[in-house]
Structure 1
């Protein structure tokens, strides 16, 4: 299948509009009509409001009835490409399968579905086991394993440490077991029956564990992703692999899958605008994967690990530059991001800065539109997060209510609020940029990047059509030149705010 080469929206079904998929569809058919070629609907499974905002599904094959049903997804998919999350690594501790394990222990038919500590680390040499565990890559500050008492309805109760890579309520699946394969297949079947075109493989890098390794993006993991992607393609869908890691890892993954995220782009664009130096950005865009999806903001924070060093492998920017980048975000947001990042606010990821992208740029409308223009002219299919679409501010009230760092950038925006926000000059300007990216055929052609005399030029050409973005960082001026169907035009980014 072919994915439309245009801008996509990332959104929750309950946080944009009036709380359900039908309302979201009405927005896309109304005030936002024709603006997006695709929509990534963040987890809408039961329950969508669990401990990790839907990424801990009790039933991955059921749409939470408070949001709608699969028919609502199918209807929306008639007009736009639909992306849905396949949460590969884990399921909720409240799921029917794990509840059965708690009751029946090893006698449960679902016992092989879940990964225990002993499944990976076996033997009696505790020192060796401890040494092996120390090698495992840890994405979060919480423990690797969570102890659960199982067999509570039998005569052989025992305490078993289960793998919980992310939170204690997200029980890791043994994706190599027959039950694991059947589980993932059942989700794929639900997707293909409901007009889902793209599958975001969430946390796929952690799916395969081997003693003695770091249990992250192993050769077996690549093989697992390739096999899952192949299965999806036979069902008319493509896979997008979600991995936060060193930039070379993204390049390696991209060579072996349908597509990856360009997670290096968000911090590099900020670094470029903060320092007025695009050398690191230009270098990255000269080597970045072409089969990628680009973002500046998502439901997660602004990733830092994606531009940093890994062991003896250098990063795209130095550690000092990363520290300066993070501090500038804190300054630009008047310290709000600091209250939602790192050890603050019950954070689950310490390598991300939680802040809206608009506030990270100090609410500077011009800088924000330049950032979006750079994104749209970079290789890949652009995605715009719903908060970013509306230039949303940090939601400090929601952060205070939940004490969840990421909630600073997960606002609830009603239809009325959307209708008001699209009248703001910066949002109107962004919508014009989205339309330009969607309509010019040049973006389906060849890409080129140059950086000389403090001027960055990103250009596309395709069978007579052309589009180029020129950003002069000395003068802080940005211009778009296009040729479409033989007609030439010039657009100043600053003029979008007039």
Structure 2
């Protein structure tokens, strides 16, 4: 066992568990992770990504094919889609929770070591990992109230007896930050009498008690097992809520950050190419803390981007998006932003607290509702509720502006992705954005869950038929998206850590400049964020006269760097030397 690694693990454990034997725990965790004795520490500040990295986000059962019978599982459809439609487009696939579950579309996990038999098995996961990197969820804050561990808890048996966070209804929990509106504590009948269990997200999702080192060791075991199944990217779901402490907000506590640092240390010694991404739907400043000093999360979800970008395109004003981009610190080597504008969840509103006024937020909400969207709420101190997220498919979110519907939905939708693909960070695209899926109101009505509006399940042969029909908007969106991505992957200036500066071109043109790490390529990314044509003076970009400049998207050359060009509604140019 490496003495250096042992000392580093001990140092983290002494912070998390000051009263425990840190040397004993450190040896236990290193053995559980299965780290060889001769392992060397990976070089710090190393980028494990480049401009060719594009992630696909999807559920394991988004693509169904009942015609092939019950033995043909959805993960095989996903594998076929990636191989035959996205083989030169995406580099990684985030398969949302594929374990047996009881609710929340997978995020109430019953068994972390099994693949939901309705989706497939571990062979299917390993097959997908042969062609692309696989990202899996580590649902680290809670598990299903119907899990074996929680059944053991109720019966006073191990493992599970001491896995869950108990509290008294008499405790003052008024400071606790809540993402939902239900009662925080759930009364449970156990063999030792009635107990109250902490439930951050729902009463079917019972929170773990990481004050017990056995819980930490169990999750190290889970991470080790996933690595052995070919998974190299981990999404730490709702990790901000991991550590609870009386009299605090119970979010982003120091012990939570220390646990993430410890897990990264162990994971990267087992596999130096592994990546940890934290999912923390919280205000921007708090989110940035999960980078640590390039010793915590490799990447963090850029949660402010979706609401700010959508707000920009429906208002025709990039003021807030530009202000945010100017304030975004460059990610140091070894860390990266994880950029997305659509996912299985809604458009989070917490990340724009302090950026959008209450009136601006209300206008955004009302606009999205007019396009068929829904609103989910969270509880505040004093019994009040506040909008937590907007639930809508991104394609329908781009149906119009604050003035109503128009005929520019597809242009606005592509513009949103062109901006996202250019911004510093690793781009991740939801499967429904690849094919322009619309609101699934039927699923919302059947499930009574707002988030189901953007969790449509496609009949795979039907989708393939759409993608083969040039008149279908699904095919048009797919073709434009994939062509744009292939172009983007060839540009070194779009490396996730390439230099970025925000341009000042007024409120109707949103622009930024990227420069490759070797300083050989520059790209000026300018988007018309309005529904009217806009003039762009190339002189405002200060292009070097001796270089040859071209729009990469249209292949238009610019021979006079003082010309003015006209941008159509929602057109983007990538002007590069």
Aligned 8 A contact 1:27 1:415 in 2: no
Q: What's the CA shift string for 1:61-113, capped at 9, x where partnerless?
A: 1111222222221221122121100011111111112112222x3x5452211
Given candidates 44, 49, 52, the residue that maps to 1:3 is 49
Distance in 2 between the 1:274 and 1:100 partners?
51
- Counterparts of 1:62-461 in structure 2 under 5 Å? 62-103=114-155, 105=156, 108-118=158-168, 126=170, 129-130=171-172, 133-151=173-191, 157-236=192-271, 237-255=274-292, 256-288=296-328, 290=331, 291-308=336-353, 315-331=354-370, 333=371, 336-338=372-374, 341-342=376-377, 350-362=387-399, 364-422=409-467, 423=470, 424-444=475-495, 445-454=498-507, 455-461=509-515
Aligned residues: 463
Structure 1's 296 and 473: CA in aligned 2 closer, same or farther, altered over 3 A?
Answer: closer
- What CA distance in whole angstroms lies between the structure 2 residues aligned with 1:380 and 1:426? 23
CA contact (8 A) 2:412 2:570 kept: no
Distance 1:158 1:469 in 2: 63
Q: Which residue of 2 aligns with 1:44?
A: 98
Matched position secondary structure for 1:244:
coil
CA gap 1:470/1:282 in 2 versus in 1, 3 angstroms: same
The runs of 5 or more residues in structure 2 that have no matched partner are 1-46, 66-72, 379-384, 401-408, 555-566, 572-577
* Superposed CA offset, 1:225-249 (max 9, x none): 2212222222222211111111111
Asked if 2 retains the 8 angstrom alpha-carbon contact of 1:175 and 1:181, the reply is yes
8 Å contact 1:140–1:349 — kept in the other structure?
A: no
Deviation at 1:39, TM superposition (A): 0.7
Q: TM-score, normalised by structure 2?
A: 0.75
Q: Which residue of structure 2 aligns with residue 154 of structure 1?
A: none
Counterpart-to-counterpart distance in 1, 2:74 and 2:260: 31
Give the TM-score normalised by structure 1: 0.86
Aligned residues of 1:141 and 1:349 also touching (Cα < 8 A): no
The secondary structure found in structure 2 opposite 1:99 is: helix
How far 1:45 moved relative to its partner?
0.8
Secondary structure in 2 aligned to 1:317?
coil
Render the CA deviation track for 1:456-481: whole Å, top value 9, x for unaligned.
22222224233332123464569999
Q: Gaps (5+ residues) in structure 1? A: 152-156, 309-314
The CA distance in 2 between the partners of 1:204 and 1:137, in whole Å, is 14
- SS class of match (1:159): strand
Matched residue SS, 1:45: coil
Return 232-241 or 466-475, whichever deviates more.
466-475
Shift of 1:488: 4.2
For 1:478 and 1:354, how far apart are their aligned partners in 2?
35
With over 3 angstroms needed to count, the CA separation of the structure-2 counterparts of 1:94 and 1:11, relative to structure 1, is same
**Alpha-carbon offset, residue 438 of structure 1:** 1.9
Compute the displacement of 1:17 (Å).
4.7
Picking from 42, 46, 59, the partner of 1:12 is: 59
For residues 450 and 386 of structure 1, the distance between their equivalents in structure 2, rounded to whole angstroms, comes to 31
Distance of aligned partners of 1:4 and 1:16 in 2 relative to their CA distance in 1, 3 Å threshold: farther
Question: Could you tell me how far apart the structure 2 residues matched to 1:225 and 1:29 are?
Answer: 33
Equivalents in 2 of 1:472, 1:266: separation in Å?
17
Taking the aligned partners of 2:94 and 2:308, their CA distance within structure 1 comes to: 23
User: 1:487: how far off?
Assistant: 8.8
Of 13, 16, 21 in structure 1, the residue corresponding to residue 75 of structure 2 is 21
Contact 2:180 2:377 in 1 (8 A): no
**Distance in 2 (alpha carbons) for counterparts of 1:459 and 1:410:** 35
Matched, 1:491 2:553: yes
- Higher mean Cα deviation, 457-466 or 175-184? 457-466
Partner of 2:40: none
> Which SS does the other structure have where 2:231 is aligned?
coil
Max radius of gyration: which structure? 2
The change in CA–CA distance for 1:349 and 1:259 in structure 2 (over 3 A counts) is farther
**Relative to 1, partners in 2 of residues 1:161 and 1:461: Cα closer, same or farther, differing over 3 Å?**
same
CA–CA separation in structure 1 for the residues paired with 2:424 and 2:460: 32
Match of 1:312 in 2: none
SS of the aligned residue for 1:353 comes to strand
SS of residue paired to 2:180 = coil
Q: What is the alpha-carbon distance in structure 2 between the residues aligned to residue 442 and residue 478 of structure 1?
A: 25
Structure 1's consecutive aligned runs of 4 or more residues displaced over 3 angstroms after TM superposition are 340-343, 420-423, 472-482, 486-490, 492-497
